[in-house]
């Protein structure tokens, strides 16, 4: 289907690209400053935050590449083009979040037993700059986060790092006021937990799409029953609802109508019903008259509530 929907998708993709590029520029510049600051101050919390910031840079770059790839035209070999590239990018970002959190836990464990000296003052200065950078990058990505799981994954990287900046500031204040050096490792563990938590949603949603599960918020049984209740419909089976990529749900089904019904007319009516009531535009419906379909065992069938003698004249 072509038209306003695809034009809107293209505009949304351009806006996503601009936001990701700007956020990447900001986070890349700060990553260098944070690595230098972590090495000079001896702060694991800063280095942990820098490692996560590096993963931010990678995730933003991958997200940008995935948007470019997803915009490439379809072909006979790839009838949906590269739209799933964005989902693969989100999955990769989720995995990197898990890897970063494990690294933080291991490093923090070693520091608990032998906490090194930390220059808490400079640690606070670097963390405060990071806070500003992450707030700015987060605001840039906020607008697109609910539309694309790819951008959502990148946003969660930035959000986790924003929380990490708060943690580093808290650790610096604790060390300055109390001199308790293990605070650096403790805050690092909390940062690791936050990073791990932010990975969960991305991994769950991306694998859900890749496994072609029913989109979240859509009840396949309710859809099937609603179609079976439509005028002229006797039975609905072989119903599949899945997501091609973020914001692109699809549906296919085999529909049986009465012998006297206009198959093409009923198909158009059902497509409008699906779009109007369930928000699904990409539909593929095979509509046949009762008795004309092939004999196939179907796992789930949705039957009209009309009496059986009226269903199969």
> Tokens for 183?
């605070």
Q: How far apart are the first and last CA of the chain?
A: 36
24, exposed or middle or buried, with CB in 10 Å at 0-12, 13-18, 19+?
A: buried
Q: Tens place of pLDDT for every residue, the chain, 313 residues? A: 444 444 445 556 676 778 888 888 888 888 888 788 878 878 776 777 677 677 678 778 877 888 888 778 878 888 778 888 888 888 887 888 888 888 888 878 877 877 777 777 877 887 888 888 888 888 888 866 656 677 777 787 778 778 777 877 888 888 888 888 888 788 888 878 877 887 888 888 889 999 999 998 899 999 999 999 999 999 998 999 999 887 789 999 999 999 889 999 999 999 999 999 999 999 999 999 987 755 444 556 776 665 444 444 4
Q: Which residue has the tokens 């987060």?
A: 138
Place of tokens 């419906």: 285
3-state SS class at 293 = coil
**Torsion sign across C-alpha atoms 80, 83, 85, 88:** negative
CATH number of 4-210, picked from 3.40.50.720, 1.20.1510.10, 3.40.50.460, 3.50.50.60? 1.20.1510.10
Give the tens place of pLDDT for each residue, 166-197: 877 888 888 888 888 888 788 888 878 877 88
Domain residue ranges of the chain, discontinuous segments joined by +? 4-210, 220-311
What number of other Cβ atoms are within 10 A of residue 198's Cβ?
A: 24
Query: Is the pTM value of this prediction over 0.75?
Result: no
Q: Dig out the tokens for 274 from the structure.
A: 């699906």
96-105 confidence digits (pLDDT tens): 888 888 888 8
Regarding the domain with residue range 220-311, which homologous superfamily does it belong to in the CATH classification? Cation efflux protein, cytoplasmic domain (3.30.70.1350)
């Amino acid at each position: 289907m072509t038209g306003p929907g695809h034009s809107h998708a293209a505009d949304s993709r351009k806006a996503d690209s601009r936001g990701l590029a700007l956020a990447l520029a900001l986070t890349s510049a700060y990553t260098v400053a944070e690595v230098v600051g972590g090495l000079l101050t001896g702060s694991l919390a800063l280095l942990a935050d820098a490692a996560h910031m590096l993963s931010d840079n990678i995730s933003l770059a991958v997200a940008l590449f995935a948007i470019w790839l997803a915009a490439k035209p379809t072909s006979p070999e790839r009838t949906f083009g590269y739209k799933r590239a964005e989902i693969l990018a989100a999955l990769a970002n989720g995995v990197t979040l898990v890897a970063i959190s494990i690294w933080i836990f291991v490093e923090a464990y070693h520091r608990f037993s032998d906490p090194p000296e930390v220059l808490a003052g400079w640690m606070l200065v670097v963390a405060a700059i990071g806070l500003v950078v992450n707030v700015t990058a987060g605001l840039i990505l906020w607008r697109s986060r609910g539309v694309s799981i790819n951008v959502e994954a990148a946003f969660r990287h930035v959000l986790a790092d924003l929380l990490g900046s708060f943690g580093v500031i808290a650790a610096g204040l604790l060390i300055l006021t109390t001199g308790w050096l293990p605070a650096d490792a403790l805050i690092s563990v909390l940062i690791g937990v936050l990073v791990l938590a932010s990975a969960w949603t991305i991994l769950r949603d991306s694998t859900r799409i890749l496994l072609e599960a029913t989109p979240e918020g859509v009840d396949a049984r309710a859809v099937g029953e609603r179609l079976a209740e439509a005028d002229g419909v006797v039975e609905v089976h072989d119903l599949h609802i899945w997501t091609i990529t973020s914001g692109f749900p699809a549906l296919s089904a085999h529909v049986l109508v009465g012998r006297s019904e206009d198959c093409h007319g009923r198909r158009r009516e059902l497509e409008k019903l699906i779009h109007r009531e369930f928000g699904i535009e990409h539909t593929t419906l095979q509509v046949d008259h009762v008795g004309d379909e092939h004999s196939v065992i179907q796992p789930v069938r949705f039957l009209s509530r009309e009496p059986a003698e009226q269903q199969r004249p």
